[in-house]
Structure 1
């Protein structure tokens, strides 16, 4: 308040000098405190400063509090987002590892299946070859047996046709008796 009074007295001294300069015929300011309502203006400014400071300070404090809360919320959301990102990156890494494991397993299963198929094909070829050889051998034996039967049938036919020429009744009786004796009969 002391500063205000000092300014007021300095202002009145300056005003009186200007008034004198104005009276001499120029432009000037009126610094008479009572005439210019300088005291009223000072009171209004003081009241506005004193009461306005609390009001404006409260508004600014609330605004600052709201901004700090918003910043804290934003930082919290940022931390949560970073945590979620880290979790998702970890899940991605696990999924990639699982995909790699599945791919490796699939390749191993494919290789095993390929080897099994090749082994089965080799066995099948061997079985076909054995079956073919057996079939050829069976056909050959069948053909040989058929030829033997034909040869025997032809031989019997030939013997029968020639036996009538070589055997008479006495020779036939002698042959029959010898056959019976060989079989164990009495003659």
Structure 2
């Protein structure tokens, strides 16, 4: 055995050209660290098998993942329900908006028709009033013209009578008119 150990020591000190060799330094090769870790595992894990620990860890991880998936599904369902409610509300609001819009348009049309009718009636009344005013103004103007023509005719007749009438003709006309009036009174 001494020969075997000796040969390893000899190999460790023999310089190779490509830096290949066997490291016999125990501290440099982490052999102590590996021995400590394996010893601790064996000491503390006597009643527990490594596959059982791994299985428990995987089962816990699986349960957490399944729980997260279930929570996500519940949130998804809730979100879908809220989305459906929002769609229903949106349809309802759109229907109400269409109804308001149609009512507004019909109200506008009704107001427009009322305004047109009121304006038409006002225009008819103004036209009637204008025609009546024109008729009365025409009648007044005609009356004024008649009065002037009558006044001028009377003045002309008086002028003619005054120029042609002398005292004797005047007395004869008066007597003739008195005679006519007397004859009329006797007949009664």
Q: What SS does the corresponding residue of 1:120 show, helix, strand or coil?
A: helix
Paired with 1:52 and 1:104, the residues of 2 have a C-alpha distance of: 78
Give unmatched runs, 5+ long, in structure 1.
1-46, 172-187
Q: Which has the higher contact order (CA 8 A, sep 6+)?
A: 1
Q: Find the aligned partners of 1:52 and 1:93 in 2 and give their Cα distance.
A: 62
Whole-angstrom CA distance in 1 between matches of 2:147 and 2:46: 146
Residue 122 (1) aligns with residue 127 (2)? no
**Residue 139 (1) aligns with residue 126 (2):** no
Normalised by the size of structure 1, how large is the TM-score? 0.58
Q: For residues 108 and 138 of structure 1, what CA distance do their matches in structure 2 show? A: 44
Deviations 1:16-36 (A, max 9, x none): xxxxxxxxxxxxxxxxxxxxx
Name 1:94's counterpart in structure 2: 89
Aligned residue pair count: 122
In the TM superposition, residue 52 of structure 1 has moved relative to its aligned partner by 10
Aligned residue in 2 for 1:55: 50
Instruction: Report the equivalent of 1:181.
Output: none
The structure 2 residue matched to 1:148, chosen from 132, 143, 147, is 143
- CA distance in 2 between counterparts of 1:58 and 1:150 reads 134
Give CA-to-partner distance per residue, 1:110-150, whole Å, 9 cap, x none.
11221221122122112212211221121122112112111
TM-score by length of 2: 0.57
